[in-house]
Each structure stands twice: as structure tokens, then as C-alpha cells.
Structure 1
Amino acid sequence: MRSLSLALATLLLAWLPQGRAAALEPFLATYDAWYEGRHAGDATMRVAHLDGTRWEVELDIRGRHGLLGLARLNMGQSTVFDVADDGGRFRPLTQRTVRKALFFGREIDGVYDWDAGTAQWSGDVSKRRRNPVPLREGDLSALLINLAIIRDAEPGVTLNYRFVDNGRARDHVYRVAEEPEIVEVGDLSYSALRVSRVDDDDDETLVWVASGVPTPIRILKRDAEGDDVDLRLIEYQGTE
């Protein structure tokens, strides 16, 4: 019976046309978190409307105690941002990262001052990353790039974003697959586009997005040694 349900879910979701996601809307998504091929915890991603044009996106990852190497998994990150009236621009306003560990923790806060044209971070950040970073129109935090990919991904296109986060600025280039592929998450399967980015140091980021789903189906960050951090969607729901 389960295999039949899975087959039906695959068939139904494969019929969905791939295209731009709907306008930004509040949601709460839950993920399984995997680390180096092992189930290591869980994560939530939330988008909430604050007021006017201001929104907030949050990602909270919780690693299970007792597994080595999970300090990087226990973290929370959030970005407050505003959205253009046409929904075509996300502009970060503040950013916060909290890393949670048994014997130490880190807190980093950033402010994007668009009037001054700079972004600057404080807290547990290195001295060189405390310097102001010049801003350009279109700059995004790491979390906002995830939302922008959902908004922009179409088969075969190349996506160019400028990452400005944690005292750094980098150009990020993503390539969207020509055709969707079936991605199984839990008891459901999605017809999803793979969006990939490869860094100069051979680190790789893969994001799968499905038409009509406001959050990534899967986020995989992989280094030269293999799988690193893997978030797999369990469920999502609107929160309005």
C-alpha cells in the first residue's frame, strides 16, 4: 500500500509545471538534517511577514548530542529584509547568526545600511571581517539566496547573485538543470529542478526546488571529501 501511495504521489507531483514560484508568503518548513551520510538532527526554515514591506527568514538547525563534528550543525541564522512591491527584489536589512555548542558559542550580528552603502558585522567575528563591506543593489544574505533561487529558477538558466554575509562579499553563480528530476522526501516525491553551484575550492552547493513549493526540497552542501550537510524536507505549511 505504501509503494502504491508513493507511486501516486510521484505521478501527481510530476504533472506540476515547473516555473516561477508564487509570490512570497509566510511558511514553516521542517527538515531532516544529515551529516556525512548519517541522520544527525532536524531543522526548520520559517518565513514571516513582520509589517509593511518587512519580512524575516530564519533557519534553525539542531544536531543531536553525542555525534562528533556536529558543532557546525547547531546553529540559527536569520535575516530581516524588505520586499519590493512587485516581489522582484529582496533587500537584506539585518542578519544574525548564533552557533550553539556544549562548551562554546558564537553570536554575530550584521546591519545592511543602504543609506550609507555599507554592511558591517559585530560580535564573535574576526577583526578583518568587522570592516564595512560596500553594498551593491541586489546584494543578498545566504538565506535570501535560497529564497531568490526558488523565485528565479527556470530550466537551463544561469543565476548570478552577490553574497554579502558575515563580513564577506562573493559572486555566486548557480546553474539550473535543463530538466526536472524526481526527488523523494519522506513518503512524497517531487518533480524538482536541481540548482548547482561549485566553488573554486571544490566545495559544492546543490538546491532542489519544485514548482509551487515555497521552500527548497533539499539543500546539500558537499566538500571535496564527500557529503557534508544535507537538509531534506519533511513537511511545510503556510502560517497566515
Structure 2
Amino acid sequence: MLRRAFAAAALAVASLPALAVQPFTADYQANYMGMQGSGRMVLASAGANKWKYTLDINSPLATLSQSTVFEENGGQWRPLSGNDSTNVLTKKTTKIATYDWSRGVASWTGDVKPERAGPIKLEPGDLDALLINLAIVRDVVAGKPMNYRMVEDGRVKQLNYTVAGKESITIDGKAQQATKVVSSSGNKQTIAWVVAGMPVPARILQRKDGADEIDLRVQSTR
């Protein structure tokens, strides 16, 4: 999901058929570290079988901009490159990811520690954090296991989401039924709400040490 929030298990992603990818724009109400702001997700064509997926969050405290270019390859979504820029008060960081599938490795440049520059060996089905947002929706709809190997920020992390029931969620003033899914790892937890027919989660909540860090609630999609 978010790059540090969202990201092969019993049934690897590599074996799951990808739903048809369609362009969209989703506007969110954002709460970042207690400050209200706005967010937007956009999926747009980047050429033959390639797509660019972006997430921008703006608040009085910080500006975050994340993007990934990926391709549809044999029923899989494969990340090709990523850009992660964060501006919190006066501190700005930028990290650039390259997923070289011909060599089978991922690497990072920019404001990264030497031990996080890679290369890291890629495996079929690997995703970056943003792509997990799309994979969750795909797999909830298909009733598939939500187990992902995330290659992100110079690390490999296994993320496992489980269904935590159904909840009503308000979108554009209307109540919608959503499937709630949860992933916990150490002191971090990510919760997402998936609504049928919506290409991205209707809400994404990232928590750390039991406190809300980032909360995105969809306002409209088109």
C-alpha cells in the first residue's frame, strides 16, 4: 500500500491471474500524523502493457509523492521502477528504485543508506508497496489468499493480510459495504477496506505502536 505500509506464501502471487487493469483517479481525505490534508491516487497508461501508478499526499506537516511503473507480464504485475519523495517540514528525501528483471535484481539510489542500496534478488511475483494496494483489491474480489513478497526500500518483507469481516463505510455521503483486511508486523499494522467495484481500497489505515499514522479515506473515484 503505502510504500512502507503495504506490501510468496501458500499460493504465490505468481500463480494468480491479474484482473484487467483500467485507468482511474481516486481522491482521498488524508490524515497524516494528526494533520488533515488531501490525497490522490492515479493509474495511467505508460505504453504497451505498462502502467504508472502514483500516490500524492499533501498536509500542513508533510508532502509525500510516490510512484511506480509496472508491466503486465504473463498474468503478473511486475514493478519496473519507483520514486519515493518525502518533504517533512524542512527535511526532504528522495529514493529511486530500479527493478531489473533481465538481471533479476532490484536496487536503490538517492537518499538511501549503503546497506539499503541492494542489489536484492527478485523472485517471480515480487511486488513493491504501492502495487500491493491493487493486489489486495484483486485478491479480495477473487477470494484468493493475500500473501505478498514485498521488495521495497532495500529490503524483502513478507506481508500476509487476513479478512477481518465486513463493515459499512461512507463514500461520498453514501453507506457502502466493505471487506476489512488486516496485516500486522511487529509494531506496525495496516488495515484496508475494499468495496466491490472500486479499483483501490476505500480506506487505508497505517498504525504504529497502536497509534494512527496515516489514514486515507476515499472521497470519489473516476
TM-score by length of 1: 0.80
- 1:91 corresponds to 2:78: yes
> Residue 230 of structure 1: CA displacement?
0.3
Specify the code of the residue in structure 2 equivalent to 1:158: P
Give the secondary-structure state (helix, strand or coil) at the position aligned to 1:131.
Answer: coil
Judge conservation of contact 1:154–1:176 (CA < 8 Å) in 2.
no
Q: In the alignment, which residue of structure 1 is the partner of 2:38? A: 42
Judge conservation of contact 1:79–1:96 (CA < 8 Å) in 2.
yes
Identity %: 38
- 1:23 corresponds to 2:29: no
Post-superposition CA distance 1:6-61 (Å, at most 9, x none)? xxxxxxxxxxxxxx99622100110001135x451000000001111000100001
Q: C-alpha separation between the residues in 1 aligned to 2:210 and 2:160?
A: 22
Query: Quick one: structure 1 residues 189 and 34, their matched pair in 2 at CA, closer, same or farther if it must change by over 3 Å?
Result: same
Q: C-alpha separation between the residues in 1 aligned to 2:124 and 2:18?
A: 22
Give the secondary-structure state (helix, strand or coil) at the position aligned to 1:144.
Answer: helix
Give aligned pairs, total: 206
Post-superposition CA distance 1:117-143 (Å, at most 9, x none)? 100000001110012011000000100
> Residue 186 of structure 1: CA displacement?
4.0
> Residue 102 of structure 1: CA displacement?
3.8
**Unaligned stretches of 5+ residues in structure 2:** 1-16
Specify the code of the residue in structure 2 equivalent to 1:233: V
Q: In the alignment, which residue of structure 2 is the partner of 1:206? A: 191
Q: Which has the larger share of strand?
A: 2
Structure 1 stretches (4+) deviating beyond 2 angstroms? 20-23, 154-158
Alignment root-mean-square deviation, CA: 2.0
Post-superposition CA distance 1:178-208 (Å, at most 9, x none)? x432112341221111111011x23110011
> Residue 157 of structure 1: CA displacement?
5.3
**Unaligned stretches of 5+ residues in structure 1:** 1-19, 65-69
Give the secondary-structure state (helix, strand or coil) at the position aligned to 1:145.
Answer: helix
- 1:223 corresponds to 2:219: no
Q: C-alpha separation between the residues in 1 aligned to 2:215 and 2:199?
A: 18
Specify the code of the residue in structure 1 equivalent to 2:24: F
1:61 to 57, 63, 79: 57
1:137 to 117, 124, 130: 124
Q: In the alignment, which residue of structure 2 is the partner of 1:76? A: 65
Give the secondary-structure state (helix, strand or coil) at the position aligned to 1:227.
Answer: strand
Structure number with larger C-alpha Rg: 1
- 1:180 corresponds to 2:166: yes
> Residue 156 of structure 1: CA displacement?
7.1
Q: C-alpha separation between the residues in 1 aligned to 2:169 and 2:144?
A: 20
Give the secondary-structure state (helix, strand or coil) at the position aligned to 2:207.
Answer: strand
1:195 to 152, 164, 181: 181
Specify the code of the residue in structure 2 equivalent to 1:145: I
> Residue 168 of structure 1: CA displacement?
1.0
